[in-house]
Structure 1
Amino acid sequence: MDLMKNLRDVPSPRPEAYDRARTALQTAMAEPAATVVRPKRRLSWPKVSVAAVGAAAVAAAVVIGTSGGSVPAGPAGAAPAPAPQAVEVPLVKLASAVQAAGTQPGDASLIVNEKFGLDNKPDLNYTLYTDKGDQFTGDSAKSLVDAVAKGDAQPATPYDRNVMAAARLAANGDVDKARIAMITASGNPLGVGLSPAEADKAWAAAQAETAELFRKMGKPFPGPKPRPTGKDLENLINNHLLSNIKHALFANAADAEVRAGVLKLYATIPDMIVGKTSVDGQAALSLTAPPAILDGSTDVLIINAGNGLPIREEITSAETSKHYVVNYKSSRVTIADVAAGKI
């Protein structure tokens, strides 16, 4: 979070650089942490480990979060065994209701997020995610309208396309398969579903890419790390899952199919606590990730109990006890209306 203010005016990286750097920096993680870092064009605040990475690296890539659990099986000795069946019945039922209701009319999803950091001052971000996969962003309604009117779109990156496809697969098909697709949306340095030899090769390649990235940044590479195993591996795998499903939700929440898939995938994370609450008179559900998979930090996502739309996310860092809040508003719109200033 301390880097957020410095990153506000940093232009977004080219899509191919973003995906390459994001995958490489995954392997720079030493231990799970709950630092919240996200370039302006992104919506969610995933947990990342940037222990040896300076602001230049963060500006060049969005890295992953921390979570815990297991994944579908691969060959013997590969990444952990099958994910359990969805254990949070409320989320599965809600996902079915969301999908049955369908997506509201329009050709784009608009999401407005209002972030409150340590100074408690609001930081507004507007993002329009079109059904074709393009994105328009702004820090006010006017700047978003101007961007849409000028056709100043940011094409969807491969990562964007992958997380959306994985969410849709979860909504309509095999949740286990969708889980793997979501975990590996930005690459597979952890070797999910691979044989031990293939997993080691994937890890080594990612380590080499990370070393090259550090070299280009002019920073010393802390040295290759052994591929994580056991519970550490499970935590990192589910870390990727949590980060990626939140990205899909926060970018395209108003799409019912994406939202339903995200809810189903959320339900596969072991020890996820689903509680009942209310926000401004709205019946809501709180989704609390297990602190153990966030290295002791907390992440609570509050969604509307009737339609699954995100309302608020609250994050508290275990290391610093710093608290951050993001409020969300999502709706279906038409690109033409936004270009005309109708938000």
Structure 2
Amino acid sequence: MKNLRDVPSPGPEAYDRARAALRTAMGEPVATVVRPKRWFSWPKAGVAAVGAAAVAAAVVLATTSGSVPAGPSDAAPPAAEAPRAVETPLVKLASAVKAAGTQPGDASLIVNTKFGLDNKPDLYYTIYTDKGEQFTGDSEKSLVNAVAKGQGEPATPYDGKVLAAARLAANGDVDKARIAMITAGNNALGVGLSPAEADKAWADAQAETAEMFRKIGKPVPAPRPRPTGKELENLIDNHLWSNTEHALFANAADAEVRAGVLKLYATIPDMIVGKTTVDGQAALTLTPPPAILGGSADVLTINAGNGLPIREEIKSETGQRWVVNYQSSRVTLADVAAGKI
């Protein structure tokens, strides 16, 4: 997409249609790892090919709108209630983060450096303002230019929902926040719905996907059965992990968002929290169970003192490896416009 600067950004409807198509093409309802769009760089290709692929992949990789409703039709779908959050290391850290408060500024900046299969660094800059506007760039210069020219974009409804869910968790209602985070993309998983409502959610998702494939002239995929039991639980936790991760990467420097993210991570069953050091600083590693990631491995490393993301390492089932380093800070838009980052 960086090579397509003259191509206008797709609208919300295009994103919705692309999401519907790609999530099915990716094989849902099998549990899939959902990637934030900023992890990826796109190969050179024709405008049409890159435009279509990038729009579709960026949306699905940035969100978790699965197309899988819940449970058998004669039973109520799960409410995805959070396990009781005891004083785990993540909960303790969340309390300390919230108590410390957010640093001065009117926006949060996150700089990520992605190392892909070729091990070459790819930088990406994102500013999320306290007013809900986003600025992006692939260098300090392009970010400064975007801010100086006022080329921000309103945050998407999805961004607003995941951040609101994180704030809700930070302020105490973890059970409600967990459901809100899981369903931030939509509630096609049927979380907390009645059997009839879950049936309708499934039917609507299938219809949306079929219509998208018809519009692009592709064969309509065969309807998929609804998952149940452990498969459904894993899908729910997959969406929780992915949506929560998106909230962290979108606005990590906001203490309230970060505290809520930590509390929500603490509710994922079998999450492994380890201790390590990174460049001399104490850190924690968060490793979700592979079952919720479709067999892939994902290790998120955060600062043990403030919860800020430091690094993420992802390994696919086939052994492919990606590493992303993160730097998060509070900034003032006026300073950024003046070239001070």
For Structure 1 versus Structure 2, the TM-score category normalised by the shorter chain is 0.7 to 0.9
Residue matched to 1:231: 230
Q: Who is 2:104 aligned against?
A: 105
Q: Does 1:325 align with 2:323?
A: yes
Q: Which residue is 1:334 aligned to?
A: 332
**For residue 170 of structure 2, what is the aligned residue in structure 1?**
171
- Structure 2: which 5+ residue stretches go unaligned? 41-48
Amino acid at match of 1:17: A
- CA distance in 2 between partners of 1:100 and 1:132 (Å): 22
Answer yes or no: is 1:89 the counterpart of 2:85. Answer: no
**CA distance in structure 2 between the aligned counterparts of 1:119 and 1:267, rounded to whole angstroms:** 34
**Distance in 2 between residues matched to 1:88 and 1:20, nearest whole Å:** 42
| One-letter amino acid of the counterpart of residue 330, structure 2 | R
AA aligned opposite 1:62? V
Q: Matched residues in 2 for 1:288 and 1:66: separation?
A: 22
* Offset at residue 66 of structure 1 (A): 11
**How many Å separate the matches in 1 of 2:12 and 2:277?**
38
Residue in structure 2 matched with residue 312 of structure 1 by the alignment:
311
Matched with 1:287 is 286
Q: Deviations over 1:92-142 (max 9, x none)?
A: 000000000000000000000000000000000000000011100000000
Unaligned runs of 5+ in 1: 1-6, 46-53
Amino acid at match of 2:336: V
- Which SS does the other structure have where 1:180 is aligned? helix
Mark the CA change 1:181 to 1:127 in structure 2 (over 3 Å): closer, same or farther.
Answer: same
Inter-partner Cα distance in structure 2 for 1:296 and 1:207: 25
Q: Is the alpha carbon distance of 1:251 and 1:281 closer, same or farther for their aligned partners in structure 2, counting shifts above 3 Å? A: same
Structure-1-length-normalised TM-score: 0.86
User: What is the CA distance between 1:76 and its match in structure 2?
Assistant: 5.1
Q: How far is 1:90 from its partner?
A: 0.2
Q: Does 1:191 align with 2:196?
A: no
Amino acid at match of 1:261: G
Cross-structure match for 1:50: none
Asked if the contact 2:21–2:212 (Cα under 8 Å) also holds between the matched residues in 1, the reply is yes
The separation in 2 between residues aligned to 1:108 and 1:270, in whole angstroms, is: 33
Root mean square deviation of aligned Cα? 2.4
Amino acid corresponding to residue 55 of structure 2 in structure 1: A
Matches within 5 A, 1:51-90: 56=52, 59-60=55-56, 61-63=59-61, 77-79=76-78, 82-86=81-85, 89-90=88-89
Contact 1:19–1:158 (CA under 8 A) maintained in structure 2:
no
2:21 and 2:200 mapped to 1: Cα distance? 14
- 1:150 corresponds to which residue? 149
The code of the aligned residue for 1:341 comes to G
**Quick check: 2:64–2:185 contact (8 Å CA) kept in 1?**
no
TM-score (norm 2): 0.87
Alpha-carbon distance between aligned partners in 1 of 2:241 and 2:252, rounded to the nearest angstrom? 15
Spell out, residue by residue over 1:180-217, the C-alpha distance to the aligned partner (whole angstroms, 9 max, x if none). 10111111111110011110101110111111112222
Offset of residue 82 of structure 1: 2.9
Name the CA distance, whole Å, in 1 between partners of 2:337 and 2:12: 24
Q: How far apart are 1:220 and its partner, in Å?
A: 1.6
Whether the 8 Å CA contact 2:39–2:114 is kept in 1: the answer is: no
Identity %: 75
Q: How far apart are the structure 2 equivalents of 1:225 and 1:58?
A: 26
Q: Which amino acid aligns with 2:221?
A: P
In 2, the alpha carbon distance for the partners of 1:122 and 1:172 equals: 37
1:178 and 1:20, CA in 2 relative to 1: closer, same or farther beyond 3 A?
farther
For these two proteins, the number of residue pairs brought into alignment is: 318
